[in-house]
């Protein structure tokens, strides 16, 4: 399971560590952030102790009006063994009772000058990105006219060579050989390259080439949303391939269904051009212009007109 350490959060958002230094290696395993308003009022029945706790002006103003004994009791209950950390926003002074509870439990207390709502939004976006479900897939990811195309297929079918031709045609390489994919929400897959092989292409007979060095910074990008999968396979004369494109097949990556096209490979077929046109056609479909459907409609009209003439 993915996790984020508190010291990473401190570094990322320039948080001030006020107390609980021994707890900076605690881990965050959920992107949900809790603002413990009900807990400050004494209701701890469903306290989500595993979440990062964020205290803003409202929570701290309320707790300051309680008597010292009650305040100590509730702030102590806030610091559990599983609580990853507590952040105080707006540079508000940390209650001394919270500092005592922190020293006792080891829960790190951090502070930020940023407003509560903005801080919550920024941290949530960061955690969702880091804690998103991930997988790795063998293939090549290329940005073609703004469409993230994941090219898959058996080893040696020509994925990297096709990607090289696409880069020469002005498109941008994201990853070759291994694509790291994370699911940022239910229908969004973001692909990137492992750091070790970033910007590199492996061409059989030629070896490893650095795309950025050869073609410039405009030929690469670090990550891209995956919109469609194009699977290359050796031409099978016994197999019937789609010639109209009316039906859209999908494949599942993590929990997301994504369109997939199967492109047969044989000598003489310019795969780079085919994939480039397929990406443009996919973009047109998303804009409401479906050439296959228009042809089908025209064909239906012609057939119906012919039937009327026969009558």
| 221 labelled catalytic | no
The answer to whether 159 is a known ligand-binding residue is yes
The answer for 11, left when phi > 0, alpha when psi is -120 to 50, beta otherwise, is alpha
Question: Is 155 marked as binding a ligand?
Answer: yes
| Residue 42 is assigned to a ligand binding site | no
Any known ligand binding at 153?
yes
25, 238, 243, 252: the catalytic one is 243
Structure tokens at 165: 């031709």
Residue (of 246, 280, 283, 243) closest to 263 by Cα position? 243
Annotated binding residue at 156? yes
Is residue 27 within 8 A of residue 83, CB to CB? The reply is no
Catalytic member of 35, 71, 111, 159: 159
CA 224 vs CA 128, 173, 211, 257, 276: distances in Å: 17, 10, 17, 17, 16
192 annotated as a binding-site residue: no
Contact 232, 263 (CB under 8 A): yes
Is 285 marked as a binding-site residue? no
Concerning whether 182 is annotated as a catalytic residue, the answer is no
Catalytic residue among 138, 169, 269, 286: 138
3-state SS assignment for residue 174: strand
Active site (annotated) includes residue 57: no
Q: Please confirm, yes or no, whether 159 is among the known catalytic residues.
A: yes
The annotated binding site for ATP is made up of 153-160
Active-site residues, by number, are: 138, 159, 177, 243
The annotated binding site for Mg(2+) is made up of 160, 202
The annotated binding site is made up of 153-160, 202
């Amino acid at each position: 399971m993915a996790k984020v350490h508190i010291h990473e959060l401190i570094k990322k958002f320039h948080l001030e560590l006020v107390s609980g230094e021994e707890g900076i290696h605690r881990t965050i395993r959920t992107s949900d952030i809790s603002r413990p308003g009900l807990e400050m009022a004494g209701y701890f029945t469903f306290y989500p102790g595993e979440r990062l706790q964020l205290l803003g002006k409202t929570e701290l103003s309320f707790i300051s009006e309680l008597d010292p004994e009650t305040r100590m009791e509730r702030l102590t209950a806030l610091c559990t063994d599983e609580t990853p950390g507590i952040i105080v926003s707006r540079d508000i002074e940390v209650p001394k009772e919270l500092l005592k509870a922190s020293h006792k439990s080891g829960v790190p207390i951090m502070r930020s000058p940023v407003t509560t709502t903005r801080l919550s939004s920024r941290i949530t976006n960061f955690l969702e990105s880091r804690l998103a479900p991930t997988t790795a897939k063998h293939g090549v990811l290329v940005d073609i006219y703004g469409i993230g195309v994941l090219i898959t297929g058996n080893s040696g079918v020509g994925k990297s060579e096709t990607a090289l031709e696409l880069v020469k045609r002005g498109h941008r390489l994201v990853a070759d050989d291994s694509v790291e994919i994370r699911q940022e929400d239910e229908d969004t897959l973001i692909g990137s390259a492992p750091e070790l092989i970033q910007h590199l292409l492996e061409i059989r007979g030629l070896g490893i080439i650095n795309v950025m060095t050869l073609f410039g910074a405009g030929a690469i990008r670090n990550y891209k949303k995956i919109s469609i999968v194009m699977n290359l396979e050796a031409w099978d004369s016994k197999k019937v391939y789609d010639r109209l494109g009316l039906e859209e097949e999908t494949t599942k990556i993590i929990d997301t269904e994504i369109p997939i096209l199967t492109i047969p490979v044989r000598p003489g077929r310019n795969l780079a051009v085919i994939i480039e046109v397929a990406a443009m056609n996919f973009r047109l479909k998303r804009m409401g212009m479906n050439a296959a459907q228009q042809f089908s409609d025209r064909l239906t009209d012609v057939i119906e007109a012919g039937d009327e003439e026969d009558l």
